[in-house]
Amino acid sequence: MSNTKTLDPSQSTRALYGAELRHRRERAGMTQEELGAAMFISGAYVGMLEVGVRRMQPEFARMADEVLGTDGFFTRNVEAARNSPYCDHFADVVELEGLAQSIKDWAPMAIPGLLQTSAYTRAVVEAYDPVLAEETVEERVTSRQARARIFRAPARPRYWAILDEIVVRRPVGGAVVMAEQLRHIAAMVRGRRIVVQVLPIATGANAAMEGIFKLMTFDDAPPMVYTQGVRTGRLMDEPAVVTRCALTYDLLGAAALSPDASLALIEQAAEEFEDAHRSRPDERDLA
């Protein structure tokens, strides 16, 4: 697992326990392969636990305590490592975004969370649950905005998003919010921080009509795919699934507009939202 990016233990409980696992293993004079054999997993898997690519499960915690003689440390604390402001099926994804070498998002319904402005996120959260307490709305907005810190990291991932054109045209939050959102994406593209393509509505059927997915690759660990439904999500690393999703993304990219043409469409749409607000501002935009 050499040369793999590591999570900052001060920022991630999972990274903290991974660092502790490495410390205890080295103090016991064991290699990753030796510890893996004792825990009935591969040495490579131990390495992924140590750098945070894999989350320690309760059964692994119990075996680690037994093999390393850690007096129940991992068993007692493994649940704390699972604490997160994100729902259970998404917490791992957020941490893996910070480890990824590359991230590819397919966005058929909304702007990907990593690219959302706070106003856009607020509109999405409030639409999803109109009676949600204001404090909870703010927590969710803050949590989603925090994910974008990966773009400010020295070793930020290569990020590529393909947006369905309907995502660019749908007035989430109103004209002002959408104009700001699209200008934000355009600024990131022009700053050479991300690659974005738009799949035109006129394309018709496409290779990814089954739903949202995110493909992540790592320096020295298997690639992973995250798929999402209504209040559900699944993180997978099965080679056949990853291969199929990679092909799907290639097909989407081939059908989408070029990055330059996509940027022009996004900026044109931002201008149209700005013009719409100037000609007929609605109450939401004036709030």
Q: pLDDT tens digit string along 1-46? A: 434 454 444 445 666 778 888 899 999 999 999 998 988 888 888 8
Residue that terminates a domain, selected from 82, 104, 120? 82
Q: Rounded to whole angstroms, how far apart are CA atoms 126 and 137?
A: 7
Q: Cβ distance 111 to 163 under 8 Å?
A: yes
Give the model confidence (pLDDT) of 170-191 as tens digits: 999 999 999 999 999 999 999 9
- Indicate the pLDDT class of residue 106, thresholds 50, 70 and 90: very high
Residue that terminates a domain, selected from 43, 66, 82? 82
Q: Which of these ranges, 140-144, 159-163, 179-183, 256-260, has the smallest mean pLDDT?
A: 140-144
Question: Same domain, yes or no, for 223 and 104?
Answer: yes
Strands (E) located in the chain: 102-107, 158-164, 195-199, 212-218, 221-229, 232-236
Question: Same domain, yes or no, for 114 and 231?
Answer: yes
Model pLDDT, residue 3:
42
Domain-embedded: residue 1: no
Q: Which of these ranges, 59-63, 180-184, 215-219, 222-226, has the smallest mean pLDDT?
A: 59-63
Q: Which residue has the higher pLDDT, 44 or 111?
A: 111
What range does the domain containing 19 cover? 13-82
Q: How many domains does the chain have?
A: 2
pTM of structure: 0.76
Q: Is pLDDT of 136 > 60?
A: yes
Task: Give the domain CATH number at 45.
Answer: 1.10.260.40
Q: Rounded to whole angstroms, how far apart are CA atoms 217 and 233?
A: 18
Question: Same domain, yes or no, for 205 and 268?
Answer: yes
Domain-embedded: residue 222: yes
Question: Same domain, yes or no, for 243 and 112?
Answer: yes
Q: Which residue has the higher pLDDT, 280 or 246?
A: 246
